[in-house]
Amino acid sequence: IRARDLAREHVLITAGATREEIDPVRFISNRSSGRMGFALAEAARARGAQVTVIAGMTTAPEPYGVELVRVCSAEEMLRAVLERLPHATAFIAAAAVADYRPATRQAQKIKKTGARLTLELEPTPDILATVAARKHESLLVVGFAAETERVVEHARDKLERKGLDLVVANDVSQKGAGFDSETNIVTLVTRDGEESLPLMTKSEVAHRILDTVARLRKLARG
């Protein structure tokens, strides 16, 4: 029943890690592999959707048959997302966006002096919240929540606070879940309920997320 059930969707996905520059040779980033975002891209394409991926740094193999746009910083990722948002029917924020960036980027390489050095950080824009705040009526918005305790409670709070349709919550303290892993253990939190899934591959998780997107779309159409 899954075959081409997303043929009318244009899915916009963020994936991977952003990279926030400190100076010409250094940056702040994280260990996201891009695997979850890329798995979503491949799964959505297989089900007939048009797919655009906005990706930061990744180590996972690139998805096949989708539009792939490369960006570095959170700021750039936000711009690339907003540019393509008018064409999207679903937005899935699977990227690990840096929460902070250096307040100033040094034009020259910072010299080593042997003394202590303080790096001042400022918050980055929240891409998911920005999209949810300015979304058009029919756009479905999906976010991820990585938590270490009271996972579903925090996820539901995020759903309400950011105005999302679905939050994919994972307990990153569990083995086989989260960053840089082939598998994940997630709970799908929607306004009408929650569904806890057992350990499965990120590809299977991707399909379960898209099953929910398809279900919510049907509900919205009535």
Burial of 117 (0-12, 13-18, 19+ CB in 10 A): exposed
- Per DSSP, the three-state class of 98 is coil
Q: Which is nearer to ligand C5P, 5 or 140 (CB)?
A: 140
Paired tokens of 202 = 């990120």
CB of 179 to ligand C5P, least distance (A): 12
DSSP 8-class letter at 178 = S
Binds ligand C5P by CB under 6 A, chosen from 49, 127, 140, 186:
127
Q: Taking CB under 6 A as the rule, does residue 57 contact ligand C5P?
A: no
Q: Taking CB under 6 A as the rule, does residue 34 contact ligand C5P?
A: no
Paired tokens of 139 = 């756009």
Q: Taking CB under 6 A as the rule, does residue 144 contact ligand C5P?
A: yes
Binds ligand C5P by CB under 6 A, chosen from 11, 36, 43, 95:
95
Instruction: Choose, from 26, 29, 30, 121, the residue flagged as catalytic.
Output: 30
Binds ligand C5P by CB under 6 A, chosen from 15, 40, 53, 97:
97
144 is in an annotated binding site: yes
CB of 102 to ligand C5P, least distance (A): 15
Cα separation, 42 vs 65, in Å, equals 8
Cα separation, 196 vs 159, in Å, equals 16
Paired tokens of 59 = 């180590």
- For residue 59, give the nearest of 82, 38, 80 by alpha carbon: 38
Q: Taking CB under 6 A as the rule, does residue 28 contact ligand C5P?
A: no
Binds ligand C5P by CB under 6 A, chosen from 89, 124, 181, 187:
124
Which residues have CB under 8 Å from 146's CB, separation 6+?
A: 170, 172, 178, 179
Total residues interacting with ligand C5P, rule: CB under 6 A: 13
Active site residue 30: yes
Q: Which is nearer to ligand C5P, 6 or 151 (CB)?
A: 151
Binds ligand C5P by CB under 6 A, chosen from 74, 90, 159, 205:
74
- For residue 166, give the nearest of 222, 221, 99, 211 by alpha carbon: 211
DSSP letters of 33-97? -SHHHHHHHHHHHHTT-EEEEEE-B--SPPPSSSEEEE--SHHHHHHHHHHHGGG-SEEEE--B-
99 is in an annotated binding site: yes
Which residues make up each annotated binding site for CTP? Answer: 99, 109, 125-128, 144, 158, 162
Binding residues vs ligand C5P (CB under 6 A): 14, 74, 93, 95, 97, 124-128, 143-145
Active site residues: 30
Which residues make up each annotated binding site? Answer: 99, 109, 125-128, 144, 158, 162
